[in-house]
Structure 1
Amino acid sequence: MNRFVVISGCSGGGKSTLLAELERRGHAVIEEPGRRIVREELAGDGAALPWVDAAAFARRAVAMALADWETAARLEGWVFFDRGLVDAAAALEHATGEAVLEALGRAHRYRRQVFLTPPWPEIYVNDPERPHGFEAARAEYERLLEAYAALGYAVSILPKTSVAARADFVLETLAV
């Protein structure tokens, strides 16, 4: 869908903060599947936590991203995704070796223009939902950069600047 915009990239790179700003400006936002899954798993038995069972986590992320796609279709205007199906499929492929990225990534398209937050060690922090280190986040970023490019998306790397300036950059880029 041409109005479905993905904000992806490096963990701890400021995606969620940027999306909160876009939501504050009146745009629809779909929360990252991974964060929702981790919260649910931490409240439950924790069997599908990414650091416990990466494949189970990725399968849940794919299912949730597909459900998010359906939910977003009922929303008006720009819909900004904090990660999406490409991220989930890339995680599943990385965890299991199953070749799912191409099929899933081509069947459910987002706007061709995607935005990636680059590795930014100065703002990277761990939290209970993100216990992995910066190098793991950087490796994930590299996989996502490859995945989006391989699927024909035009990737814009977000500048390392204020949240407001990043939001302006996204909206100005989409206006072109």
Structure 2
Amino acid sequence: MNPKKIVIAGGPGTGKTTIINALKKHNFLCYDEISRQITLQAREDGIEQLFLTEPLLFSEKLLEGRTKQFVDATKELEPVVFLDRGLPDVIAYMDYIGDHYPEHFVKACEDHQYDAIFILAPWQDIFTSDSERYESFEEAIEIHKHLLDSYKRFGYQLIDVPFGSVKTRIEFILESLNLQ
């Protein structure tokens, strides 16, 4: 079986993980964001913010992890797999910081195409920072612009998720996918 691979994308603090967790409660198969795991592992290795100190290394780890998630999702028996972020996010963040990346980053995005991308815009009312999320709300707005550019670069038609309660946002996503 080759399930539909659905990405929940957006900048920091837009509610992606909250939506993923709610979808899990509705018994949907969801893959978690991996950047926090990479950040926490780097901290255990003595690097406080790997993305800030070695952005290419951090991004390589993300690219590898998200590629694995894509391949694993392809093998699932469920009809739909939701992913907290996709491969084009890696390029968006590299573009955001103005850093260069190898051509295999682009190739990975071209070779691994998702079925739908739901994008969450920055939302001041729910935005918070924490020890793994160092960006300000203003930076989240800039990152959002790069996310839009990155996904459009690879031919995706983005589906804007409206602001609202978690329930309202989940209903919108499920209705858009005819999963209600």
Give the TM-score normalised by the residue count of structure 1. 0.90
Q: Percent identity?
A: 27
Equivalent of 2:164 in 161, 165, 170: 161
Q: Give the one of 102, 109, 112 matched to 1:105.
A: 109
Question: How far off its partner does 1:100 sit?
Answer: 4.8
Tell me by how many angstroms 1:2 deviates. 6.0
Deviation for aligned residue 1:99: 4.5
Separation in 2 of the partners of 1:31 and 1:66?
13
Query: Contact 1:59 / 1:92 at 8 angstroms: preserved in 2?
Result: no
Q: Could you tell me whether the CA contact under 8 Å between 1:9 and 1:144 is conserved in 2?
A: yes
How far is the alpha carbon of 1:97 from its aligned partner? 4.7
Structure 1 distance, partners of 2:66, 2:49, is: 16
Contact 2:127 / 2:137 at 8 angstroms: preserved in 1?
yes
* Corresponding residue number in structure 1 for 2:87: 85
Distance in 2, Cα, partners of 1:71 & 1:2: 10
Cα distance, 1:98 vs structure 2: 3.9
Q: Which segments of 5 or more consecutive residues in structure 2 lack a partner in the other structure?
A: none
Structure 1 gap segments, 5+ residues each: none
CA distance in 2, matches of 1:117, 1:132: 16
Partner SS, residue 163 of structure 2 = coil
Normalised to the residue count of structure 2, the TM-score between the two structures is: 0.88
Structure 2 distance, partners of 1:7, 1:51, is 24
CA distance in 2, matches of 1:123, 1:33: 21
Q: Give me the whole-angstrom Cα distance separating, in 2, the residues matched to 1:161 and 1:81.
A: 21
Distance 1:98 1:47, change over 3 A: farther
Is the Cα contact below 8 Å between 1:32 and 1:83 reproduced in 2? yes
Equivalent pair of 1:89/1:104 in contact (CA under 8 Å): no
Query: Does the CA contact (< 8 Å) of 2:3 and 2:74 recur in 1?
Result: no
Contact 1:62 1:89 in 2 (8 A): no
RMSD across aligned positions (CA): 1.9
Matched with 1:145 is 148
